[in-house]
Copies of this chain bind each other. A is one copy, B any other.
């Protein structure tokens, strides 16, 4: 990798961390420059605009997300086991953001009413993510663990709700039992799906 791409990557990593704390909009070029030890213009030269940078941050984060959350799940056996791995991988992923929590979660409520290409990119990512949860849930159906007539999209909806709330409970409320509550919620969704 050339020097240029190396710094560009380092910038994106740093930017992801900053954006997860102050938001994609709240993050400023100057802030980012001092965090990376670069000049504003030197840093800016790697991107066309702040908006382009925001989109690149999302892309960068998605790549990490795929390798740290999705891949391990897909290597797990089909069915509830895979669903469980996916959920636990997400919890680990969320905790990995030292502060600020999952960038996607932050971006979701930040951009939910800010039309534009950044929001569009995020919506695509979230749609993919929800569809993946549905798909993995469907493996539990085809493995015979869930009844045929279970609504996989509804399960995905409810599982996604838990991940959102985990951020709320662990980051904002600092509830020491947040992890435990998330896992119990997961279990009861699975339980109910089993005997629908």
**Contact of A51 with B by CB under 8 A:** no
Interface residues of chain A: helix, strand, loop or mixed (majority): helix
**Contact of A89 with B by CB under 8 A:** no
Q: A109-B110, A110-B109, A113-B21 are in contact. Are A165 and B164 (CB under 8 A)?
A: yes
Q: Which of B101, B114, B168, B173 contacts A164 (CB 8 A)?
A: B168
**Contact of A123 with B by CB under 8 A:** yes
Q: Are A160 and B165 in contact (CB under 8 A)?
A: yes
The distance in angstroms between the C-alpha atoms of A164 and B109, with both chains bound, is 10
The distance in angstroms between the C-alpha atoms of A159 and B114, with both chains bound, is 27
Return the CB mask of A83-120 against B: 1 if under 8 Å, else 0.
00000000000000001110001101111111000010
